[in-house]
Structure 1
Amino acid sequence: MARGAPRFYFSLRSPYSWLAYRELTERHPDVAAAVEWRPFFEPDATSERLLTERGGSFPYTPMSRAKHLYILQDIGRITKERDVPLNWPVDRDPVWEIPHLAYLVADREGLGQQYIAAAYRTRWEEGRDICDRDVVAGLGTELGLDPRELADAADDPALREEGVRLLLDICKDGVFGVPFFVHGFTRFWGLDRLPGFVGHLRERAVPAAAMPAPESGPVGLGSRTTDDGHAGGCG
């Protein structure tokens, strides 16, 4: 067995990560329960400074206009093929620590999965801005959590430090885009690599009890995400 617990690096920003989340939880719930869920987010100036001070460097390159236009077309195709509702959000001066550090608050309270589901629905099905603190506060109210604690998570120094530790793990695990799946030294990048990751874990019986055989049917559609020149590069 490969060393280390399997990890799923997800981003609330990325439509490919959203679709991987849906496929993982709906078609492979046993694997979803077996992996560690790790948020991937582009650092703001404060997080980037803290990351640099600790010897890290975030592996992200802004996408070109052509790549952005391709993603709009590609995600439109995939969601239509899968009959998945889509409402494109508009990000205005996004600070990605706001929704992703709020996830850490929800996860601490045992509601991490519920928060991810609510945040993805809010962003990709309702088209709302999840970097808006009032929107995040609404997610807190929906989940029965302190709305201001979620909305203001990015202002909490302890959560900032935890976020930087997660960014350092991104560097250590060689994560350059999302969705990204890691098990020991084995890595899978992109929505279309999810079936391979599922098969990899099941072959190695993670967790210790053997998992059921993978489902039959078509593999996941879509493209790998985030880095230079490749389809799906929205981080």
Structure 2
Amino acid sequence: MAIKPPRWYFSLRSPYSWLAFRDLTERYPDVADAIEWRPYWEPDEVSNRMLAEEGVQLPYVPMSKEKHFYILQDVKRLSTERGLTVAWPIDKDPNWAVSHLGYLVAQDEGRGRDYIGAVSKARWEHGHDIADRKVIAGVAEELGLDPDRVANAVDDEKLRARGLDILREMERDGVFGVPFFIHRRDKFWGIDRLPAFVETVRAARAVGATTSTTRTEGTES
């Protein structure tokens, strides 16, 4: 069985993913380039029904009022530490597939990481509703992408099928929250676990580089 590459699951709706994205790309760019990026979102009614028919149940639990209040405090604290100001958006029955399937279009065009940064900024720094197709179209236009295709990705059957594959893989990986980092058998949940994940990825890469060098020297001799 092939070993899965190190990877992280992010969500455009999560303030912790927003902060982890910034930490990963700004503090650990070598690791950001060496791992797989996978979106995580709560499926809409259509995808949820299709998954249920397959017996796939995602481990999503609605947030309590107490946890919500804690997150407000915690994210403000973490944002301040990073010199950021968070603008809390107001979500009214959001469809998270709109922004996350739009990511797949941006990814195909080689702009996936730029899309994450732009959508996260729109949501967490400007308080925009990223389930609004007009907002996503604006982000796409800013990035030089086809705004109609990105904003309406949720209506594309092929993209929805790819999204379902990602959600199935997420369930198999045992992902229950974000940011979620996986390296071989090790799993790391939460932004405070990012440094530990980085260490394991870097250590494995160092061992791999040493092994490769040793094999090359042995061949030359």
- Normalised to the residue count of structure 2, the TM-score between the two structures is 0.91
* Contact 1:98 1:152 (8 Å CA) reproduced: yes
Q: Please state how far the C-alpha of 1:55 moved relative to its aligned partner.
A: 2.9
What corresponds to 1:95 in structure 2? 95
Percentage identity across paired residues of the two chains:
56
Q: Distance in 2 between matches of 1:47 and 1:64?
A: 24
Letter in 2 for 1:73: Q
SS at match of 2:201: helix
Q: Please state how far the C-alpha of 1:208 moved relative to its aligned partner.
A: 4.5
Closer/same/farther in 2, CA of residues 177 and 207 from structure 1, 3 Å limit: farther
Letter in 2 for 1:202: R
Q: Please state how far the C-alpha of 1:50 moved relative to its aligned partner.
A: 1.3
Closer/same/farther in 2, CA of residues 136 and 56 from structure 1, 3 Å limit: same
Q: Distance in 2 between matches of 1:85 and 1:11?
A: 19
- Where does structure 1 differ by over 4 angstroms across 4 or more consecutive aligned residues? 206-210
What corresponds to 1:196 in structure 2? 196
Q: Distance in 2 between matches of 1:209 and 1:89?
A: 45
Q: Give the number of equivalent residue pairs.
A: 209
Letter in 2 for 1:55: G
Which has more radius of gyration? 2
What corresponds to 2:11 in structure 1? 11
* Contact 1:34 1:207 (8 Å CA) reproduced: no
CA displacement 1:11-38 (0-9 Å, x = unmatched) = 0000011111110000000000011100
* Structure 2: gaps (5+ residues): 211-221
Moved more, 74-83 or 158-167: 74-83
Q: Please state how far the C-alpha of 1:56 moved relative to its aligned partner.
A: 1.3
Letter in 2 for 1:9: Y
CA displacement 1:77-117 (0-9 Å, x = unmatched) = 11112211211111122000000000000001111011011
Q: Distance in 2 between matches of 1:105 and 1:207?
A: 35
Q: Distance in 2 between matches of 1:149 and 1:160?
A: 13
Correspondence 1:77 to 2:102 = no
* Contact 1:79 1:86 (8 Å CA) reproduced: yes
What corresponds to 2:149 in structure 1? 149
What corresponds to 1:105 in structure 2? 105
Q: Please state how far the C-alpha of 1:7 moved relative to its aligned partner.
A: 0.8
Correspondence 1:58 to 2:68 = no
* Contact 2:137 2:151 (8 Å CA) reproduced: yes
Letter in 2 for 1:3: I
Closer/same/farther in 2, CA of residues 208 and 142 from structure 1, 3 Å limit: farther
Q: Please state how far the C-alpha of 1:49 moved relative to its aligned partner.
A: 1.1
Letter in 1 for 2:36: E
Q: Distance in 2 between matches of 1:189 and 1:168?
A: 19
Letter in 2 for 1:96: W
- Normalised to the residue count of structure 1, the TM-score between the two structures is 0.86
Letter in 2 for 1:10: F
More helix by share: 2
* Contact 2:76 2:85 (8 Å CA) reproduced: no
Query: Aligned-residue CA RMSD in angstroms?
Result: 1.5
* Contact 1:34 1:206 (8 Å CA) reproduced: no
